[in-house]
Structure 1
């Protein structure tokens, strides 16, 4: 099992579990989730959970159904995911209906499973408005700037090691630039949140 934390704006944080339950392993992986899922959600401050992988759940159908019932989970894979016609690669989640959609992509390499594409529709994070300054170079007082540069005491400014001189030179130029080059300051408007597509694939060899 591997666990990941996904941050989204609309649904908060989601705990993603990627799991492989070999046919011979029995109920242990399902029972681990049944026992520890609440603690993991609380420990990592997750609002929702998504579980994907090759669970071979047909062999532990009762434990699998109990997990879904106890945690209010839905299996969004309603199609075969194995060449035998069985559905062995569930995508289960407690996210609201319509947020998660799944579809088969076909076999990959020598795998006897189909890859499953799961799309989770979540709102993108809105950027914080930022202040931007445009320098109006066309309205620059070039004569004043040139005169200021000629009368700047460079011998007193450019002292110390190379790094110190570069910082002093840059600071002086910026100071003169602010004095002789007009500016226009405005707030950059935020764009409408985009749709973020989280794509997950499951399947094993």
Structure 2
């Protein structure tokens, strides 16, 4: 399946689920830690950020911002060797796809999108994907448009959830993060953002939202 831009995605007349990929659909932090070890670096769970917490094992110093960016770039180039689906996601999305359109919005350099597309397809996650480093709110707004249908957005990072809230205020906002160690360090979501432990919890919330939205029309 191709990699899309927002304007390329053709939606049916049914609800829309937009999901981030790293730490939501694919494990990110757990395999990234293993990748870093293979590169003589370590990610320390000291705060909810990468820069400042990745240390060089040869000298014990924190990697610079440029070094962190280079490590991330190398990881994304080799993601097929490292990343695996988050717990329950393949079955839950397959079930939800009978009720809703599903689109993946991944915050990564678009040059890595083809590798990610191949990985998602191989894992049984064949839903439209687009990669962008732009704010997510305007992208979700472009996808959903003025449709009077339920829309859901799932992400692990609060600024992305806030961005979507600003541009799609009727959207159900779900905060999901696969790695429990770093989830404990994350900022507490504010009102209107629902935190879930896994995809089973997310699916229950999504179906309830679909039911409420249908009943209100």
Q: TM-score, normalised by structure 2?
A: 0.22
Bigger proportion of residues as strand = 1
Which structure has more RCO (C-alpha within 8 Å, separation ≥ 6)?
Answer: 2
Bigger proportion of residues as helix = 2
